[in-house]
Amino acid sequence: MNKPIAICFGEILYDVFPNQERIGGAPLNVAYRLSGLGIETEMISKVGGDEKGEKLISYLKSKNIKTDNIAKDAEHATGVVSVTLSESGSASYEISYPAAWDKIQLTEEMKEAVKEADLMIFGSLVCRDEVSRKTLLELLPYAKFRVFDVNLRPPHYEKEILIQLMQKADFIKFNDDELFEIAEMLDSPFNSLEQNIRFLAEKTSTKVICVTKGRHGAVLLKDGELYYNSGFKIDVKDTVGAGDSFLASLLAKLLQGEEPQQALDFACAVGALVAGREGANPELLEKEINGFIRPI
């Protein structure tokens, strides 16, 4: 049986903390975790023709992530994001513009890669620039299954584009704040999380919606059924990348045939373990994750 194949489209960059720099970007974080969980993974993006770009490509290759469709840009630098952490470990971001990943230009090779993949994952941030947005919209019709990771980063999003992306998605992932913000944009009359999940599923004709709730776990709507995980206790170091690892873990387990409840439990455990360590991409072994879910 062939491994499932995933394509991650969008930003790859450096998260710059007060005391260090770390490789990141939501699509890259998702790709890293997918690859670690046995999914054949490829990135579509762009880096600058600089040292940071070379390091990013080397890093991805070292994690068995295909980089054939990562272009180099002579005009724009590799992306950087200034990250500030609150006392509770929650992150806020200042994202440089324009960066190389804002200028991803379509190629025939990208189309072929998307056609061969089992799913394509993309976010809203990459759509802040018309060049990358146009490429994404041209690639989406070739995807077998489209996963939209909403990932709102003010001021880098617009209502009309979010609606367009949601309508093209087969699976949408929000955090709870994003869910309520977008439901309000669409004039939802509802106040509860569950009602707004179903409201957005109907509005966008999306069959699968997942909403993360920080330390309180997540809710998954799939095939009309709601699945819940109420979270795992963890001492939070920082939340950078926790949602990305959650999404990757959920998708990996669903691709591998796990039942939705078991997939959701696994994903919530991974998200918690990532939040309990520094950086977006700590190494986690499946044995460790399963032991965290069900200690012996």
What SS3 state is found at 66? strand
- Rounded Cα distance between 141 and 136, Å, is 9
Mean pLDDT of 109-119: 98
Mean pLDDT of 139-166: 96
Check if the beta carbon of residue 145 is closer than 8 Å to that of residue 120. yes
Nearest CA-CA partner of 273 in 219, 248, 236, 230: 236
What pLDDT was estimated at residue 170? Answer: 98
Q: Does 143 score more than 90 pLDDT? A: yes
Q: Does 1 score more than 80 pLDDT? A: no
The C-alpha angle with vertex 139 and arms to 135 and 140, in degrees rounded to 5, equals 120
pTM for this structure? Answer: 0.95
Q: Does 133 score more than 80 pLDDT? A: yes
Check if the beta carbon of residue 209 is closer than 8 Å to that of residue 221. yes
Check if the beta carbon of residue 239 is closer than 8 Å to that of residue 90. yes
- Identify the residue with better confidence: 239 or 233: 233
Mean pLDDT of 82-99: 84
Q: Where are the domains of the chain?
A: 27-42+106-293
Nearest CA-CA partner of 266 in 229, 214, 235: 229
Percentage of the chain lying above the pLDDT 70 cut: 99
Confidence at 182, pLDDT banded by 50, 70, 90: very high
pLDDT digits (tens, 9 = 90+) for 6-17: 999 999 999 888
Q: Does 89 score more than 80 pLDDT? A: no
Q: Does 213 score more than 90 pLDDT? A: yes
What pLDDT was estimated at residue 271? Answer: 95
Name 151's Cβ contacts closer than 8 Å, sequence gap at least 6: 26, 123, 124, 125, 178, 243
Would you identify the CATH topology of the domain 27-42+106-293?
A: UDP-N-acetylmuramoyl-L-alanine:D-glutamate ligase (3.40.1190)
What pLDDT was estimated at residue 296? Answer: 62
Confidence at 56, pLDDT banded by 50, 70, 90: very high
214: left (phi over 0), alpha (psi -120 to 50) or beta: left
Q: Does 91 score more than 80 pLDDT? A: no
What pLDDT was estimated at residue 171? Answer: 98
What is the rounded average pLDDT for all residues in the chain? 94
What pLDDT was estimated at residue 272? Answer: 95
